[in-house]
Structure 1
Amino acid sequence: VVDFVAGQTKASPNAVFAGSVPYLMLAGNLVAGWQLARSLIIAADLASHNVDVDFMQAKTATARFYAEHILNKVPGLRDSIVDGAESVTALPIDMY
């Protein structure tokens, strides 16, 4: 995705701009997933030391939910960014 954005900014700026909203969604989802992964590592360590096990199990369940229901959308967002410009730019500007 970054290669597409960096490589097409000058050649096809409208194609890059057309994917800007899915790009922000992708970035937000990935950063949130990264933070959940960090908390999961800590929660697993604390749970193994019997520290607030119920809460740590809830953290694990939350991270799993996020991975299975949010992060699995990442490939589709990537496709929208890289391949979705034509449908966004199909109408002339005055039609919006």
Structure 2
Amino acid sequence: SVPYLMLAGNVVAGWQLARALLVAEDQLAAGTDAAFMQAKITTARFYADHILSRVPGVRDSICEGADAVTAMAVEAF
């Protein structure tokens, strides 16, 4: 369950940061609080580069990692 929660949390947070990035880009173009909007954009890009880049590996561990668990007898749990 932990990989599912990590995947869901990372993707949902990325989605929310992407939404904030789009608003920040519009606000920046309109000249609203440039420093704050640039910080929002930078934060979203950092998250995409450093956190969302892990998502494919977590997905693969969920989809391909079941054999190690299902190989154990039910009594082992």
- C-alpha distance in 2, partners of 1:61/1:94? 50
| Secondary structure of 1:61's aligned partner | helix
Identity %: 62
The answer to which structure, 1 or 2, has the higher relative contact order (CA under 8 A, 6+ apart) is 1
Residue type of the partner of 1:56? M
Matched with 2:45 is 64
Equivalent of residue 11 in structure 2, options 22, 30, 36: 30
> Offset at 1:88?
3.7
The CA RMSD measured in Å over matched residues stands at 1.6
- C-alpha distance in 2, partners of 1:41/1:89? 43
> Which consecutive residues of structure 1, in runs of 5 or more, have no partner in the other structure?
1-19
- C-alpha distance in 1, partners of 2:26/2:3? 34
> Which consecutive residues of structure 2, in runs of 5 or more, have no partner in the other structure?
none
